[in-house]
């Protein structure tokens, strides 16, 4: 039984649908009725089992309601795939305190609140899989306009290291995936086709990631085949972080 936050679009939607295809019952969590409902619709039309919970990951009461609805419907939670996040670009010199707080609330505090809500069930059953969608931006790379976003994603690395140690005795693993540039609806709204082509040229594999690339990595970290992996991050970047400088060819 899996909870997928940020399941209304992008990587989260693809993860939710993949989990359902693999036989999981899925709770799709999104701030938006239309997109979250669409994901559930797609899962059900393909023969899967899913429900929708409208919730804001940065609000404690919403995360508590999320887990209560999950337990009412499915009894417990075995897996949390946390994808909810925002990435508005803002240069440091122009960034307001409100912009900083919003991004940190959603992208980092949201991790804490979502995980915290799931822990009682996972500890009670002495089993759980937590997979957080982070990013190479912050932990490994930087990009102008991402001081708040990069800080939050770097914070996730510290979170999983420490949470993994605390929860290991309860057979709960805590890991993260770190995708690079991925062809999601959100990315298409922010950059042009020409910019996408330029980005693709900087990636050794020669193309941007598909959301399925991250979904399959998340699936692996959610299975018992990964039972001995915890406190780790899996980079999905087509070799981008290996590049020392732009190719001279």
In a 3-state reduction of DSSP, which class is residue 106? helix
Enclosing H/E stretch for 129:
strand 128-133
The string of pLDDT tens digits covering residues 171-194 is 999 999 999 989 887 777 777 888
Based on the residue annotation, tell me whether 87 is a catalytic residue of this protein.
no
Share of the chain above pLDDT 90, in %: 88
Q: Where are the alpha helices (DSSP H) in 22-108?
A: 33-45, 60-74, 97-104
The string of pLDDT tens digits covering residues 19-53 is 999 999 999 999 999 999 999 999 999 999 999 99
In this model, does residue 247 exceed pLDDT 60? Answer: no
Catalytic annotation, pick one of 74, 127, 149, 216:
149
Q: What is the mean pLDDT of the chain?
A: 95
Share of the chain above pLDDT 70, in %: 98
Q: Where are the alpha helices (DSSP H) in the chain?
A: 10-21, 33-45, 60-74, 97-104, 110-125, 147-167, 185-190, 193-202, 211-221
pLDDT of residue 174: 98
Between 185 and 202, residue with greater pLDDT: 202
Q: Give me the CATH code for the 2-237 domain, please.
A: 3.40.50.720
In this model, does residue 249 exceed pLDDT 70? Answer: no
In this model, does residue 127 exceed pLDDT 70? Answer: yes
């Amino acid at each position: 039984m899996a909870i997928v936050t940020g399941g209304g679009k992008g990587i989260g939607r693809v993860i939710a649908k993949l989990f359902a295809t693999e036989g999981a019952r899925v709770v799709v969590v999104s701030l938006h009725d239309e997109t979250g409902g669409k994901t559930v619709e797609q899962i059900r039309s393909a023969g899967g089992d899913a429900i929708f919970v409208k919730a804001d990951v940065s609000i404690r009461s919403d995360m508590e309601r999320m887990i209560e609805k999950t337990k009412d419907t499915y009894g417990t939670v075995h897996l949390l795939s946390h994808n909810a996040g925002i990435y508005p670009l803002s240069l440091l010199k122009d960034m307001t305190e409100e912009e900083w707080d919003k991004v940190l609330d959603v992208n980092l505090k949201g991790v804490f609140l979502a995980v915290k809500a799931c822990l009682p069930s996972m500890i009670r059953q002495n089993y759980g899989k937590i997979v957080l969608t982070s990013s190479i931006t912050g932990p490994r790379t930087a990009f102008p306009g991402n001081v708040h976003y990069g800080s939050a994603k770097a914070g996730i690395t510290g979170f999983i290291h420490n949470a993994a140690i605390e929860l290991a005795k309860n057979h709960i693993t805590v890991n993260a995936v770190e995708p690079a540039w991925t062809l999601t609806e959100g990315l298409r709204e922010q950059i042009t086709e020409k910019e996408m082509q330029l980005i693709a040229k900087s990636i050794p594999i020669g193309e941007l990631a598909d959301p399925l690339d991250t979904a399959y990595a998340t699936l692996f970290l959610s299975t018992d085949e990964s039972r001995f992996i915890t406190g780790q991050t899996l980079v999905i970047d087509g070799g981008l972080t290996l590049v020392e400088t732009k190719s001279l060819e």
